[in-house]
């Protein structure tokens, strides 16, 4: 037991790998065994993270459950993990969504073994980013997460669809999407890599807590340039890498393709967790390491955030592909996260104005909560799209219509989740969006105002989507014969249930999570 409690985070992090290894040795035809092994194995990290949550002392400062082991001493990198409120929230999100996604993947029939192994490895990759307190370890897991996702989209993504590249070369849509995803993210992380290398070279350590102090204390010239210039360049290197992931307009173009072509569970995880990696990067690295530059460029960030909100909403509205609509909605919702971050950045460190500080905290709280909430609702939305796709094999909104009477339970769940996405008060979306807006208003008034416009259109596209699917005249095609739409089944309801419960609980009583987040946020920046 002692081992357990002193190595909780490492266990959470590496258990999925062990599970993947175990699955490797299972015969590939025993599909049921593989599925259930994966599901049960993924519940273990969830259980452990709940345990951590319970034991987490939200009044204490700094990181808890810290573990540090020597890893690559030659370049002064150690395996250093720990959680604070921010990362714990994200860890919980990840370990929650993974089992649900695996459960959602029970409908995958081909090469289940490889799929599950990749999925579990993906989980480790994501958890590693959240848990890392060493910059190099952060980067390692950041990159590790890319590979399973690439293959998941590439191999199990939607089979239809083709993209035409230059010179008339045709490529399967999922190949195009996965390649774009990989290359985009890698290119973005190149700047990150270079900046990390520079930091490592400068300070002979990658330990985040010490880097926070040393980097900020640096003055004078660096490699022939004034420190401020170097910091600015490094700042943008970091920002670009994370902005691609979030994704922030205009670095978002990989997302609609990736989301649309990914298999259902892939989209759930992609939207639910992977995007949060980017935002997490902003919070954990960009703000604390570059407070001055963040303040300086906060306006630019806010601008990009607002563009994301507005354009994301407009783009969503214009979609006929249900999944693409939800994909763009992610751009839209993540824009709020960035808006909150930008607001906090604008206020800066050690601002004497108490009111602004309060707003800053509120904005940050909102941003983090939005991360969690969007994780839930986006995962839910994508799953629901998947549910209908499996039955109808189309995602075109025009093909649907008036399905409510046919599938009332599904309709109800879809409505519920859409409302959460829309930001209906009483559900989680409202709380986080409200906090962000309330926090940003005093700081970035104009931007917030424009964002509200976006919010308006959020409502528009959500309702449009829901209407085209559920309401209106019944599309006879689905009513009879072999295309008759079947209701949502038990397994699928079980997938949605925890999400819906959490959505409701956070909407009504957010204190339990906000407390944890708040403490972290306050000490973060």
Partner 1 sequence: MQFPILSVIVFTPMVAAMLILLIKPERKNGIRVMALAAASFALLLSLWVYFTYDKTAAGYQFVEKYNWMPMLGISLQFGVDGMSAPLVLLTGVVMFTGVLISWGLDDRPREFFAFLFILASGVFGVFASLDLFMLFFFYEIAVFPMYLLIAIWGWIKTREYAAMKLTLYLFIGSVVSLIGVLAMYWQSGLHTFDMLALEQAAFSPAFQKLWFPFVFFGFAVLGGIFPFHNWSPDGHVAAPTAVSMFHAGVLMKLGAFAALRVGIMLLPEGAKSWSWLIMGLALVNIVYGAFIAMVQTDFKYVIGFSSVSHMGLVMMGFSTLTRVGLTGAGVQMFSHGVMTALFFAAVGMVYDRAHTRDIPKLGGMVKPLPLVAVAFIIGGLVSMGMPGLSGFVAEFPIFMGIWQVRPLVAIIAAISIVITACYILLVIRRVFFGNMPAEFEGHIGPITVQDKVALVFLCVIMISLGLFPSLMVPWVQTGVQHLLSLLGGV
Candidate segments 5-13, 96-104, 156-164, 179-187, binder of partner 1 by CB under 8 A = 179-187
The residue among 31 and 140 lying less far from partner 1, judged by its C-beta, is: 140
The residue among 14 and 434 lying less far from partner 1, judged by its C-beta, is: 14
Whether residue 173 contacts residue 163, with contact meaning beta carbons closer than 8 Å, is answered with: yes
Total binding residues for partner 1 by CB under 8 A? 31
Choice from 23, 104, 140, 414 touching partner 1 (CB under 8 A): 140
Choice from 54, 74, 165, 354 touching partner 1 (CB under 8 A): 74
- Pairwise CA distance, residues 44 & 211, whole Å: 33
Residues 6 or more apart in contact with residue 393 via CB below 8 angstroms: none
How many residues can be counted in the chain? 525
- Pairwise CA distance, residues 288 & 219, whole Å: 17
Using CB under 8 A as the binding rule, whether residue 187 contacts partner 1 is answered as yes
Using CB under 8 A as the binding rule, whether residue 462 contacts partner 1 is answered as no
Candidate segments 142-150, 276-284, 386-394, 436-444, binder of partner 1 by CB under 8 A = 142-150
The least distance separating partner 1 from the CB of residue 154, rounded to whole angstroms, comes to 7
Candidate segments 56-64, 140-148, 399-407, 452-460, binder of partner 1 by CB under 8 A = 140-148
The least distance separating partner 1 from the CB of residue 45, rounded to whole angstroms, comes to 19
- Pairwise CA distance, residues 139 & 285, whole Å: 12
The least distance separating partner 1 from the CB of residue 371, rounded to whole angstroms, comes to 24
How would you label 306-332 residue by residue, b for 16+ Cβ within 10 Å and e otherwise?
bbbbbbbbbbbbebebbbbbbbbbbbb
Taking CA atoms, 62 is separated from 58, 132, 326, 433, 520, in Å, by 10, 14, 36, 27, 8
Choice from 51, 179, 415, 463 touching partner 1 (CB under 8 A): 179
Candidate segments 5-13, 190-198, 240-248, 334-342, binder of partner 1 by CB under 8 A = 190-198
Structure tokens at 457: 């259109």
Whether residue 116 contacts residue 35, with contact meaning beta carbons closer than 8 Å, is answered with: yes
Using CB under 8 A as the binding rule, whether residue 203 contacts partner 1 is answered as no
The least distance separating partner 1 from the CB of residue 252, rounded to whole angstroms, comes to 19
Residue with the two structure tokens 């490895």: 121
Using CB under 8 A as the binding rule, whether residue 155 contacts partner 1 is answered as yes
- Pairwise CA distance, residues 173 & 164, whole Å: 9
Structure tokens at 486: 């079947």
The residue among 71 and 314 lying less far from partner 1, judged by its C-beta, is: 71
Interaxial angle between packed helices 8-24 and 112-131, expressed in degrees from 0 to 180 and rounded to the nearest 10: 160
The least distance separating partner 1 from the CB of residue 41, rounded to whole angstroms, comes to 20
The least distance separating partner 1 from the CB of residue 262, rounded to whole angstroms, comes to 16
Using CB under 8 A as the binding rule, whether residue 223 contacts partner 1 is answered as yes
Using CB under 8 A as the binding rule, whether residue 497 contacts partner 1 is answered as no
- Pairwise CA distance, residues 249 & 263, whole Å: 24
Candidate segments 81-89, 133-141, 240-248, 388-396, binder of partner 1 by CB under 8 A = 133-141
Whether residue 290 contacts residue 235, with contact meaning beta carbons closer than 8 Å, is answered with: yes
Using CB under 8 A as the binding rule, whether residue 434 contacts partner 1 is answered as no
Please choose, from the candidates 404, 401, 439, 500, the residue with its C-alpha nearest in 3D space to the C-alpha of residue 100: 500
Using CB under 8 A as the binding rule, whether residue 175 contacts partner 1 is answered as yes
Candidate segments 196-204, 315-323, 460-468, 514-522, binder of partner 1 by CB under 8 A = 196-204
Please choose, from the candidates 16, 150, 132, the residue with its C-alpha nearest in 3D space to the C-alpha of residue 82: 132
How would you label 71-80 residue by residue, b for 16+ Cβ within 10 Å and e otherwise?
beeeebbbbb
The residue among 77 and 359 lying less far from partner 1, judged by its C-beta, is: 77
Using CB under 8 A as the binding rule, whether residue 186 contacts partner 1 is answered as yes
Q: For Cα atoms 386, 390, 392, give the angle at the middle one, nearest 5 degrees.
A: 110
Choice from 72, 203, 212, 389 touching partner 1 (CB under 8 A): 72
Using CB under 8 A as the binding rule, whether residue 136 contacts partner 1 is answered as yes
Whether residue 283 contacts residue 341, with contact meaning beta carbons closer than 8 Å, is answered with: yes
- Pairwise CA distance, residues 119 & 215, whole Å: 36
Choice from 200, 209, 412, 498 touching partner 1 (CB under 8 A): 200
Using CB under 8 A as the binding rule, whether residue 73 contacts partner 1 is answered as yes
**Binding stretches for partner 1 (CB under 8 A):** 70-75, 136, 139-141, 143-144, 147, 150, 154-155, 172, 175, 179, 182-183, 186-187, 190, 193-194, 197-198, 200-201, 223
């Amino acid at each position: 037991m002692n081992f357990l409690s002193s190595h909780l985070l490492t266990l959470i992090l590496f258990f999925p790998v062990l599970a993947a290894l175990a699955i490797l040795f299972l015969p590939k035809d025993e599909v049921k065994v593989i599925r259930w092994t994966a599901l049960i194995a993924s519940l273990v990290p969830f259980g452990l993270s709940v345990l951590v949550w319970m034991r987490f002392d939200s009044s204490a400062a700094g990181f808890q459950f810290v573990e540090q082991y020597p890893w690559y001493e030659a370049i002064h990198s150690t395996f250093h993990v720990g959680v604070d409120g921010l990362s714990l929230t994200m860890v919980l999100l990840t370990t929650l969504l993974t089992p649900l996604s695996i459960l959602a993947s029970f409908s995958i029939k081909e090469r289940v073994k490889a799929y599950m192994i990749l999925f579990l490895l993906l989980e480790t990759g994501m958890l590693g980013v959240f848990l890392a307190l060493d910059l190099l370890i952060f980067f390692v897991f950041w990159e590790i997460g890319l590979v399973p996702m690439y293959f998941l989209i590439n191999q199990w993504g939607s089979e239809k669809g083709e993209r035409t590249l230059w010179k008339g070369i045709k490529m399967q849509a999922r190949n195009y999407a996965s390649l774009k995803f990989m290359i985009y993210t890698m290119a973005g992380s190149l700047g990150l890599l270079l900046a990390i290398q520079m930091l490592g070279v400068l300070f002979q350590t990658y330990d985040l807590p010490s880097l926070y102090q040393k980097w900020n204390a640096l003055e004078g010239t660096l490699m022939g340039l004034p420190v401020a210039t170097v910091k600015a360049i490094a700042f943008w290197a970091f920002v670009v890498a994370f902005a691609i992931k979030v994704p922030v307009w205009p670095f978002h173009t990989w997302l609609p393709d990736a989301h649309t072509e990914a298999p259902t569970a892939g989209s759930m995880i992609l939207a639910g967790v992977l995007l949060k990696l980017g935002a997490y990067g902003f919070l954990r690295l960009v703000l604390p390491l570059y407070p001055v530059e963040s303040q300086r460029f906060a306006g630019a960030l806010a601008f990009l955030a607002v563009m994301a909100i507005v354009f994301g909403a407009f783009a969503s509205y214009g979609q006929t592909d249900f999944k693409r609509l939800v994909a763009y909605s992610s751009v839209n919702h993540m824009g709020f996260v960035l808006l909150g971050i930008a607001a906090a950045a604008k206020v800066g460190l050690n601002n004497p104005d108490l009111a602004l500080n309060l707003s800053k905290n509120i904005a940050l709280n909102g941003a983090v909560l939005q991360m969690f909430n969007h994780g839930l609702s986006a995962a839910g939305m994508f799953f629901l799209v998947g549910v209908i796709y499996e039955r109808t094999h189309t995602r075109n909104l025009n093909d649907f219509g008036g399905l409510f009477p046919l599938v009332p339970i599904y309709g109800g769940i879809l409505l519920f989740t859409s409302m959460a996405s829309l930001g209906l008060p009483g559900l989680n979306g409202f709380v986080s969006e409200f906090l962000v807006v309330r926090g940003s208003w005093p700081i970035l008034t104009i931007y917030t105002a424009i964002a509200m416009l976006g919010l308006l259109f959020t409502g528009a596209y959500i309702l449009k989507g829901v209407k085209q699917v559920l309401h209106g005249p019944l599309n006879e095609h689905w009513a009879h014969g072999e295309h008759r739409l079947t209701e949502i089944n038990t397994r699928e309801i079980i997938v949605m249930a925890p999400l819906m419960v959490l959505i409701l609980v956070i909407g009504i009583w957010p204190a339990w999570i906000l407390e944890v987040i708040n403490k972290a946020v306050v000490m973060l920046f």
